[in-house]
Amino acid sequence: MKTTQKCIVCLILSFVLLSSLGATATWEPYLGLGKGKTKVEGERVPFFELALGTSLGSRATIETFLMAQPLSNFPHMSFDADITETESAFAMMTGARVSVSLFKDAFCNPMLQAGLGGMIISRAESTDNQTDLFLYFYSSIATGFEVDFSDSFKILILSGYRFVPHDQVIGIENDALSSRFSSVSFRASLD
């Protein structure tokens, strides 16, 4: 009986908390597309990103992201990436990011962005029956500017550092993917 009462009290408290959260933050979805570069083992390697997020008030946003980074060239595509001699190697990062801007409404708005998630290091083609799939922790911190053209279109220019503690995998040295990065992203409102 006590377990049922505790569950009911927790459920009521959850409804109260979620209803007050809904009153402070509105669902204003946006889609983000971006491209950037990281410096890994002395080489500048591109990455591509897709994000889906929403505003948390007038100065903060939260988003989920998916980033892809080639670590070597692919058979039919060249990305100017020679970090490893393993053909068709790539990294995929996914997680959540929070962005906070300094001003409520400004054309060129300084901002801070932090993200947490996971990174998968693998290769597209497997030579044997064993799959090369390695999962590691991913985090990033960046500063930059948000250029506000309107309420529905923004450009983000960021520079920061990503931290990926990993083992030596598919010809990449320990922690080599932890590096500085810079990126340009476009956000468009979905409303």
The pLDDT of residue 80:
66
The pLDDT of residue 172:
72
The pLDDT of residue 21:
47
The pLDDT of residue 20:
46
The pLDDT of residue 91:
85
CATH of the domain at 64: 2.40.160.20
In a domain, 141, yes or no: yes
* Residue 77, strand partner residues: 74
Taking the chain (191 residues) in consecutive chunks of 10 residues, what is each chunk's mean pLDDT?
62 54 65 91 87 86 90 68 70 91 85 92 70 85 91 90 81 77 91 76
Phi/psi of residue 22, nearest 5 degrees: -65, -30
* Residue 50, strand partner residues: 33, 66
In a domain, 94, yes or no: yes
The token duo for 107 is 């054309």
- DSSP tag of 102: S
In a domain, 15, yes or no: no
In a domain, 5, yes or no: no
pTM: 0.76
The pLDDT of residue 122:
81
In a domain, 104, yes or no: yes
Q: The domain containing residue 174 runs over which residues? A: 26-189
Domain count, the chain: 1
The pLDDT of residue 144:
95
